[in-house]
Amino acid sequence: MDFPSIKRGRLKTLQVNLGYKCNQSCLHCHVNASPFRTEMMNPKNISLIPKVINSYAIETLDITGGAPEMHPLFKELVNEACKLGVKIIDRCNLTILDEPGYQDLPEYLAKAKVSIIASLPCYEEENVNKQRGKDVFRKSINVLRILNKLGYGKNDETLSLDLVYNPIGAFLPPPQESLEKEYKYILKERYGIEFNNLLVLTNMPINRFSNYLQKEGKLNSYQSMLESNHNSKNLESVMCKSTLSVDWQGNLFDCDFNQQLGVKSNLFPRTLRDLSQGNILMQGKEITVDSHCFGCTAGNGSSCGGSLT
């Protein structure tokens, strides 16, 4: 089954991958991040980001990695983006905020009004540790408590704290709304933790998760499951329609998944540098799609912002 053709809408979000270094090496990680990765965006490309945000009236800077906070220029980038008044999202693994050398970050992020989107694939300790590594659940809970104390996850909409769920296995996620209620109830009851939204994501059959499926002999059946659950209503809101993804070398892709697969975009501009040269029209341009795209449209749909329908 071929994935239907889709075209770009207005560019609203610049999603920037600052590098693959991470203090964790999770089983499902689609960027194969780990403490041993050394790839990092260079200062020249970092300096182009505010310029691009300005030129294209971009509404949201979505910062990801690896653990993006491990980039030495993370705070400089956030400071510059703050001056432009855009919404800033830190895709945070939580545990980094309690590592030596990074413990001032929760307060810094709160002062800068940075929104936090953090992975917590389950409210059960055993399941989280199985996917994300030894002791990750306990550390994540500690950091969530710190963030709550700073006002994150409560009624202040400038301090939003969203959690991310993805299935611990080869199946589609359950409906977002009901799972969010369950998460909120259990995290509050057991740990006194509050958060704003639960974003439910489908695991993409690429990189580490694809290797896992291959090892388990489930890769073909997982792909067939995604295709048989394709919901064409989701095509209107897949994230590539309004987002551009930038890799650590400054190359542009239609989305983070294409970036990880090295699937080049049909667009000119090709790099941050090209983009910074002027106001280039991208609306209406064809998006590069492939079989993994069914991961975005299966069932209730999936994007960096959670379910689509």
Give the residue among 95, 99, 96, 78 at the shortest CA–CA distance from 87.
Answer: 78
Nearer to ligand SF4, 33 or 159 (CB): 33
Residues 6+ apart with CB under 8 A from 180: 197, 198, 200
> Judged by CB, which is closer to ligand SF4: 50, or 267?
267
Residue 145 C-beta: closest distance to ligand SF4, Å? 19
Q: Which residues lie closer than 8 Å to 60 by C-beta, 6 or more apart?
A: 12, 13, 14, 86, 87, 88, 89
Strand partners, 252: 246
* Residue closer to ligand SF4 (CB basis): 22 or 141: 22
Binding site residues, ligand SF4, CB under 6 A: 22, 24-26, 29, 31, 33, 65-67, 93, 238-240, 254-255, 257-258, 287, 289, 292-293, 296
Q: Which residues contact 44 (CB under 8 A, 6 or more apart)?
A: none
Task: State the minimum distance, in angstroms, from the CB of residue 157 to ligand SF4.
Answer: 25
Q: How far is the CB of 189 from ligand SF4 (least distance, A)?
A: 26
Task: Sort strands 87-92 and 115-119 into parallel, antiparallel or unpaired.
Answer: parallel
At closest approach, how far in Å is the CB of 237 from ligand SF4?
10
Query: What gap in Å lies between CA 128 and CA 134, rounded to an integer?
Result: 9
Task: Give 114 or 240: the residue with its C-beta nearer to ligand SF4.
Answer: 240
Which lies closer to ligand SF4 via its Cβ, residue 29 or residue 61? Answer: 29
Least Å distance, CB 185 to ligand SF4, is: 25
Are 83 and 128 a contacting pair, CB within 8 Å?
A: no
